[in-house]
Amino acid sequence: MSKYARTRIITEVSDASDYSRAKTHATEWTETPDEFRLEDEIEVATAGQTYYLEHLASLVLLRIKNTDTSNYVTATYTRVATGTNIIRIAPGNEIVISGVDITPSGNLTLQANTAAVTVEISYLGT
């Protein structure tokens, strides 16, 4: 039995603080993956934590959210075209990476700055 997943990212830009006249920009991925996981939470230590993606043949979308209020998280992953990429995720922020830019076999390494943090991870893949 197939499972269906749709991910939408919507950005609203407005001159009004109540967003009454907002311009909406949307991106959507629709996939019928063999496997998908949404809102997985893991604790990331300062020594680092590997999040394994190698069981996926392909990755459509990867989202990482740092839920901590004071410590950043460093994410290291393998890009398809240029090799290793390192991103720092500020406290309370998140990143979304298109699957065409990440190699699942390279896995994902997360490392907290000065104290352990909780990170939310979502991905779509087959």
Does residue 66 belong to any structural domain of this protein? yes
Structure tokens at 48: 């680092």
User: pLDDT averaged over the chain?
Assistant: 79
Dist. CA 41–CA 58, nearest whole Å: 21
Domain of residue 77: give its range. Answer: 33-125
Q: Is 3 a member of any domain? A: no
Q: Would you state the pLDDT for residue 3? A: 58
- CATH number of the CATH domain containing 63: 2.60.120.1300
Residue 78 in any domain: the answer is yes
17 inside domain: no
* Cβ count near 34 (within 10 Å): 12
Q: Taking 90 as the threshold, does the pLDDT of residue 28 lie above it?
A: no
Q: What is the pLDDT of residues 47-87, one digit of tens each?
A: 998 888 777 777 777 889 999 999 999 998 887 777 788 89
pTM exceeds 0.75, yes or no: no
Going by pLDDT thresholds of 50, 70 and 90, the confidence category of residue 96 is: confident
Least confident of 25-39, 64-78, 91-105: 25-39
Residue 10 located in a structural domain: no
Answer whether residue 18 is part of any domain: no
pLDDT tops 60 at residue 38: no
Q: What percent of the chain has pLDDT over 70?
A: 78
Residue 5 in any domain: the answer is no
pLDDT band at 1; cut points 50, 70, 90: very low
What is the DSSP secondary structure assignment for residue 68, as one 8-state letter?
-
Our count of domains for the chain comes to 1
Strands 117-125 and 59-66: antiparallel
Distance of CA 30 to the CA centre of its chain: 16
Higher local confidence (pLDDT), 43 or 122? 43
